[in-house]
Amino acid sequence: MIPITVVDVRDAEDLVVEVLRSGAIAQGPMVKRFEDAFAAVSGTKHAIAVNSGTTALVAALQVLDLKPGDEVVTSPFTFVATLNAILEAGATVRFADIRRDDFALDPDAVTAAVTDRTKVLMPVHLYGQTADMGKLVPLAAEHGLQVIEDSAQAVGASFEGKQAGSFGIGCFSLYATKNITTAEGGIVTTDDDALADRLRVLRNQGMRARYQYETAGHNYRMTDLHAAVGIPQLAKLDQLTAARQANAKRLSEGLAGTPGLDTPQVLPGREHVWHQYTVLVGPHAFLSRDELAAALTERGVGNGIYYPKVVFDYDCYADHDLIPGARVEDFPVARAVSEQALSLPVHPQLTESDLDTIIDTVRELLGA
């Protein structure tokens, strides 16, 4: 089986052993070292390490002091953590449809979704390419909105030379399958000194110093063990990204012209870091998306469906009072994409033979 993703953290062995031998494995100097390296990568003044990408989103919302009824506009085509974080923060969720070319928020749809209660715009940089920040940032400024970037899948991505996570408050996931992983973990990035200070206090049970409580906080801390896993990867992020980009280029060239298949686009001014290589299997393809996924698995080509439904289209959200009036049919692009999206392997460990197999198998199954 050619896997959809491969986790390789062997370069971290020496740092992990160093932490273990130190006898101090909770948040400490290794976390600070990781934060400094991540701030440099993201082009921001501050990077605050936390224990998951979901926590990063929750903490970013909490330090904005949202009130009941305050709204966050975000994408309906995303991982459920985006929605869960907004609900945990006690905010009201408003969705806006996406664009088919970048799988991210459509600025025109955002304009229609904003109300006088909207306080935050939360674009999702999906699959490793940023949303259209050239339009979304001015739109947020026009309406007086804070920008929180769900950059979970976009470490190293950029829009017109500016890094994902540097347009507002950036929230990154370091989960095992991400381009940079600490197994579990997250990062919040910001250039705002006051927000960074509040985030650091918040993650440590509201303590500035031991038993010096300043707010009702949480345990959002990352451990030195987790940070040690991530540091060597940050050092070779450019190399890892280049491998993903080369693999994506090869896939797009090989799959071009396959009947019923749309390959992903790299839009002008954006650097795509290819967390996922996601094709769209159209309604006139020889096989449906689900049929193609099953056939690829049977042939030994790993794949993934990210995501099979719009995010709120599950029974557990049907009557949630913080999701007012969301209906699947109100988001036709997101709904169509959720029925057609299929991710193929693009990770750095792929061989030339693997890439040939992926291309040949997809083309054969779709009648090319």
C-beta of residue 60 within 8 angstroms of C-beta of residue 169: yes
Q: Tokens 């061989």 label which residue?
A: 351
DSSP-assigned beta bridge partners for residue 73: 94, 121
Provide the Cα torsion 60, 61, 65, 68; round to 10°.
-170
3-state secondary structure of 219: strand
The b/e string for 226-244 (b: 16+ C-beta within 10 A; e otherwise) is bbbbbbbbbeebeebbebb
Pairing relationship of beta strands 169-173 and 146-150 according to DSSP bridges:
parallel
3-state secondary structure of 121: strand
The helix (run of H) or strand (run of E) holding residue 40 is helix 29-42
Picking from 267, 238, 319, 299, the residue whose alpha carbon sits closest to that of residue 100 is 267
- State the Cα angle at 229 between 272 and 15, rounded to 5°: 135
135 included as an active-site residue: no
3-state secondary structure of 254: helix
For the chain, give percent helix, strand, coil, nearest 5: 40, 20, 45
> Residue 236 corresponds to which tokens in the numbers above?
């070779």
C-beta of residue 175 within 8 angstroms of C-beta of residue 52: yes
- The rounded distance, in Å, linking the Cα atoms of 251 and 345 is 9
The helix (run of H) or strand (run of E) holding residue 38 is helix 29-42
Task: Write down the catalytic residue from 45, 135, 178, 309.
Answer: 178
Picking from 150, 168, 187, 233, the residue whose alpha carbon sits closest to that of residue 51 is 187
C-beta of residue 74 within 8 angstroms of C-beta of residue 122: yes
Widest CA span in the chain: 67
Active-site residue list:
178
